[in-house]
Structure 1
Amino acid sequence: MSSNNLDALYRSVIMDHYKNPRNRGSLEDGSLTIDMNNPTCGDRIHLTMKVEDDIIKDAKFTGEGCSISMASASMMTQSIKGKTVEEAVKLSHIFSEMVQGKEYEDDIDLGDIEALHGVSKFPARIKCATLAWKAMEKGVKEEKGMEE
């Protein structure tokens, strides 16, 4: 597949998650709640997660922001469900390396989140892409009593 076709495919995946976000909403049942924002561009996220026995059972988000931040939140909530906290944090680190254009562990199927690989070409957008992931990491650290 040519580079132009691949870029177009990635753009369509990002726009699909932006226009049709997965896991939009919030969880009520005593779940973890994390609010974060990116003051640089005004992105805001309210993330709720249900963690039981060190497994992320569910995750939902609300917020507002650019297509990159909202699509990333949609992709993140989809990709962490059913994973252990350790697996989710590892995936977050891999994602962070990827969007910064650094070498990353590529033997893991990243699914839709790979569409955000191109963010590395736009350094100002990295914080947009990683906002939801940082919120997830903050939440699981607080859950484990490892507040920063």
Structure 2
Amino acid sequence: MRDNDDGLRDLYQEVIFDHNRNPRNFHALEGASHQADGHNPLCGDQLTVYARLDGDVVQEVSFIGHGCAISTASASLMTEAVRGMRVDEVEVLFKNIHAMLTEAHPDADLGKLEVLSGVREFPSRVKCATLAWHTLHNAITQAQATAITE
């Protein structure tokens, strides 16, 4: 069983490395209807999340900024996951991701986002993994404050 766990951990790490090296949706979104800034002072991660909503559906989402591998990979994975979702679905997903990273694993199927579950083993890195999600939350709720994870 241990070999299987190691293989899964290796696969998860490869996905995170891939999303860090080649982040998806890494650009300023022209004509965005929503945007917010995020900052993780402990790691130095800084990003801006852009979204274009049609009613309550996320039509497009992107980000720019700089950060550690976990922060960048999480933002990249997030942009792929939430496109086409309703805002209320994004909020539920955000809560499930946060729970997966800080508490017990939620009952929800998180699909590809499961690769972030290993971050829970490194509590100081949880803030890196959740920064993009907090920033997206601020963007879609049109909060004026910078999302800060500290």
TM-score norm. by structure 2 comes to 0.90
Partner of 2:135: 135
Partner of 1:48: 50
Q: Tell me, in whole angstroms, the C-alpha distance in 1 between the residues paired with 2:23 and 2:39.
A: 18
- Structure ranking higher on relative contact order (CA contacts 8 Å, 6+ apart): 2
CA RMSD of aligned residues (A): 1.5
Partner of 2:100: 98
Q: Tell me, in whole angstroms, the C-alpha distance in 2 between the residues paired with 1:101 and 1:70.
A: 22
The answer as to whether partners of 1:13 and 1:112 remain within 8 angstroms in 2 is: no
The aligned runs of 1:34-113 (5 Å cut-off) are: 34-106=36-108, 108=109, 110-113=110-113
- Consecutive unaligned residues of structure 1, counting only runs of 5 or more, are none
Q: Tell me, in whole angstroms, the C-alpha distance in 1 between the residues paired with 2:60 and 2:107.
A: 25
- Consecutive unaligned residues of structure 2, counting only runs of 5 or more, are 145-150
CA distance 1:30–1:8, change in 2 (3 Å): closer
Question: Which deviations, in whole Å up to 9, do the C-alpha atoms of 1:40-73 show, x marking residues without a partner?
Answer: 1100111100011100000000110100000000
Q: Tell me, in whole angstroms, the C-alpha distance in 1 between the residues paired with 2:32 and 2:72.
A: 24
The answer as to whether partners of 1:100 and 1:119 remain within 8 angstroms in 2 is: no
Q: Tell me, in whole angstroms, the C-alpha distance in 1 between the residues paired with 2:101 and 2:32.
A: 32
Q: State the shift of 1:30 in Å.
A: 4.2
Tell me the matched-pair count. 142
Partner of 2:148: none
SS at match of 1:142: coil
Q: State the shift of 1:112 in Å.
A: 2.1
Structure 2: which amino acid aligns with 1:75?
L
Corresponding residue to 2:29 among 27, 34, 37:
27
Structure 2: which amino acid aligns with 1:125?
R
Query: Does residue 14 in structure 1 map to residue 36 in structure 2?
Result: no
4+ long deviations beyond 4 Å = none
Question: Which deviations, in whole Å up to 9, do the C-alpha atoms of 1:61-93 show, x marking residues without a partner?
Answer: 011010000000000011000000000110011
Question: Which deviations, in whole Å up to 9, do the C-alpha atoms of 1:9-42 show, x marking residues without a partner?
Answer: 0000100111111111011214211111001110
% identical equivalent positions: 38
SS at match of 1:115: helix
The answer as to whether partners of 1:34 and 1:46 remain within 8 angstroms in 2 is: yes
